Structures are given as C-alpha cells and as structure tokens.
Structure 1
Amino acid sequence: MFGDLSGMMDKLKKAQEKVEETKLRLNTVLIDEASADGNIKVTVTANREIKAISINESLLNDTEELEDYLILTLNKALKRAGEINEQEMAIAAKSGMPNIPGMDMFK
C-alpha cells in the first residue's frame, strides 16, 4: 500500500537532520538593519536572535524617540529574518520529504 515504508522512514529521518542543520546554519546568517536616518543599527540572526544594537548618542536624550526608532528598526530586521528563516526551512523540509501520494503539502 505505501511501498517501501523503511525507505520513507529513512527519508523522513534525513529530512529532520537537514532541518536541524539548517537551523544551526541560520544562527550564522546575520541581517543588518538601520533606521531611516541611520541613528540606530541592529544585527539579528536568521533565527531571530538579536546580536548587536548600535545607538547614536543624539538619541540618548529623548527616550521616546529612541524607543520608537528602536522598535521600528528591530521589527524591520526581525521581519527580514523571519522571511529568510521560513524560506530556508521550507527548502530544507521539502528536500528530504518522501513522495507520499496525496501528501503534496509543499507546492
């Protein structure tokens, strides 16, 4: 009915390994983002971990402006990181999936 069940299980195991390798690799993919005026710069990984934040001293006197710029810049960086993460994880998952009839969920 399902053909080579052992072969499918092997492919699933390899797919899981590929996903884990991709997760580790995404820890090394760095995304740099800056505010529109360049006063705040952030670096995050593709796994959405903040690695660095640089703030221009001119923003240190106005906490409200600093918070606004920081939120906007971090959200832009995390959005880009999420997009990269989703693309890479989908590729990793699809590459190792066995071909099960009726289970073509990665079109």
Structure 2
Amino acid sequence: MFGDIMGMMGKIKETQQKIEETKKRLDTVLIDEQSNDGLLKITLTANRTVKNISIDESLLEDKEQLEDYLVLVINKAIAKASAVNDAELGAVAKDGMPNIPGMDMFA
C-alpha cells in the first residue's frame, strides 16, 4: 500500500516538473493575430504575454476606432493562446496523473 502511495507521489512530482517545463516552453511559442484588414497586428506568447503590437498609421487618426481594434484583436489573440496553453498543459497533466479510482478529472 505504501509503495503504491509513494509511486503515485513520485508520479505527481514528475508531472509537476513536466508542467513547469511546458510553461517555460510556452513562453517561446508565439501567437500572431491581426485585424481583418491587417491594420493592427499583435503577437503574444502561448502564456498570454504581449510581445508586439503593430498599428498602421491610419488608425492613429481615430482614437475610438483604434480602441475597438485593440479590444477585438487582443481578445482573438488571447483566445488562440489560451487554446494552445490549455491543450499543452492538459496533455501533460492527463498523461502524468496516476490512475486513482474515482478521480477521473481529465476524462
């Protein structure tokens, strides 16, 4: 019984380490998003950190339009980054979790 518990604890610790490694790797995965007309471009990491914003000069003339563009494009980029992040971390967590009866959280 204690061997099983120790094995599970080791597996959990190994999974935690893999999750941390995956988080670090996701800092290097870049997500690009842009407005439909290409006037605003945003790059962020899969950990949802903004790395670059490129704004066409024409958007600087209308503050309200620029704000609308920023909200739309940032939200689209965050959604993409979140999907990548969730998929990567979910795969690591699911693969590394010990089989504990009644604990099928990732099914």
Same-fold status (TM-score > 0.5): yes
Within a 5 Å distance, the mapping from 1:31-70 to structure 2 comes to 31-70=31-70
Pairwise CA RMSD: 1.2
Q: Distance in 2 between matches of 1:75 and 1:95?
A: 30
1:76 aligns with 2:76: yes
The CA deviation at 1:2 is: 7.4
Distance of 1:61 and 1:105 partners within structure 2: 50
- Structure 1 unaligned runs (5+)? none
Residues 30-89 of structure 1, C-alpha deviations (whole Å, 9 max, x = no match): 000000110000001000000000000011111111111111011100011011111111
Structure 1 runs, 4 residues or longer, greater than 3 Å off: none
Corresponding position of 1:91:
91
State how many pairs are aligned: 107
User: Shift in Å at residue 18 of structure 1?
Assistant: 0.9
CA distance in 2, matches of 1:2, 1:103: 19
TM-score, length of structure 1 as denominator length: 0.95
* Identity of matched residues, %: 63
In the alignment, what sits opposite 2:105?
Answer: 105
